Amino acid sequence: MSLHAQTIHELHKKLKKKEITATEITEDVFKRIESVEDKLHSYVHLCRDHALEAAKAADKIIQTKKDFSPLTGIPMGLKDIFLTKGRPTTCASRILEGYIPPYSATSASKLFEHNIVLTGKLNMDEFAMGSSTETSVYGPTRNPWNLDYIPGGSSGGSATAVAAGECIAALGTDTGGSIRQPASHCGIVGLKPTYGRVSRYGVIAFASSLDQVGPIAKDVTDCALILQAIAGWDPKDSTSLNLPVPDYNKALNPTIKGLKIGIPEEYFVEGMDPEVTHAVKTAIETYKKLGAHCEPVSLPHTEYAVATYYIIAPAEASSNLSRYDGVRYGYRNQQSKDLIETYKKTRTEGFGNEVKRRIMLGTYVLSAGYYDAYYLKAQKVRTLIRKDFEKAFKTFDVLITPCSPTPAFKIGEKTSDPLQMYLSDIFTINVNLAGLPGMVLPCGLSSKGLPIGLQIIGPHFGEEKILQAGFAFEQATDWHTKRPPL
């Protein structure tokens, strides 16, 4: 098997035995990028020279130290939403054209402390606003399982790069499903931790009460290794929680006899693709064979999730994106007569249509006379959604649901209908509204050969439980070993 197709833990074992070097892995990954990147468009910025230097530095550590981090010498990509000192960070938007940050995001810095090899910055929906990676100013990313289809979003570049072997693993962000949904569509594993478990410092903000950083990898073990490295309190992030970080590797136990799994009735809705329903129900049968207790549960406020999310998220985006004015950094219109015209023209030319749509929607729901009717009411419904989950977790260890109502759809299929695009996230946004951890892993393929994902939801700071449940399923099936035909 080619080095680029292997997992972090497989490569780490070989590095420890001195069978391979970090430089060899990095060179193999960049050969893979050269062969498929023009088809996929996963990256917006490559760091080849820097990566080879980092690989050589990692090789010195590997040669001199008996024990080193499982991430040392591993080529990883970062979604273009993470600030990286001295490296372009644009959030796939024209308005951040040419921006070079003076510091790195905490989560990225933690990976650098583990001596990863940064391959580059990965494509995404502009400001993480999208479900298909079609709103990027750099153009769309394509699904490695079928180039006519979307890879999911907004972390589409991260998912395609991992699935196609253009990096071994990556970091993404998840505001309403942006790690889990592309992982589902690309046949890999994506984990959104509990809100506050991983620092958001240095991650360009979309919706501050919803955004969370997490790993995208080839299997559950790799997700656990990355989460171990990036989790923990950060004094620079006021929403980061000062709690001990458990040893996530100890959660990777295939024995789940007696595990109580809830199956939310509201997640099997009319209009769902029958192949998704079949794949998820087959996965539930696998859990029963492994000795888990699977029973239905009701989350009665699920139907209000999309409406609630698309009030709260745009409202917070409207506030966060007001800082992009063409004055201090990024793109600026040079033909303006005065400051007000500079603001208007810069923002008109710098933001894409989807970002403008959400800014306008968010500004409207926060405006005088509408705040109580929309934003305040949405926050109250959000509380009801969270309480539904809290009640369910008094009985169950984890919940299992589909990740997306359909497999990946064709590029361009939903770009003219924003509501249909928003409904792509119907099964993932509740997890963000409640601040819970959720993980997606492959559980099937459609008749068109497109991946189908299974979502596992845990209680607050229940990452160990979802890792255990995911690992058990992975060991009992072979879906995680399937690779795209590209």
> What amino acid positions are annotated as catalytic residues?
79, 154, 178
Under 8 Å between Cβ of 31 and 24: no
Quick one: tokens of 44?
């917006």
What's the gap between Cα 444 and its chain centre? 20
* Burial status of residue 247 (CB atoms within 10 A of its CB: 0-12, 13-18, 19 or more): exposed
**Strand, helix or coil at 358?**
helix
Dihedral of CA atoms 424, 431, 273, 471 in degrees, nearest 10, equals: 130
Going by C-beta distance under 8 Å and a sequence separation of 6 or more, which residues neighbour residue 311?
365, 374, 375, 377, 378
Q: Smallest Cα–Cα separation from 76: which of 170, 191, 183, 215?
A: 170
Q: CA distances (Å), 29 to each of 13, 167, 414, in order?
A: 18, 6, 33
Under 8 Å between Cβ of 241 and 232: no
The residues that bridge with 264 in the sheet, in sequence order, are 297
Under 8 Å between Cβ of 388 and 394: no
Quick one: tokens of 13?
């074992």
Under 8 Å between Cβ of 32 and 166: yes
Under 8 Å between Cβ of 128 and 136: no
- Neighbouring CB atoms inside 10 A of 476's CB total 14
**Strand, helix or coil at 231?**
strand
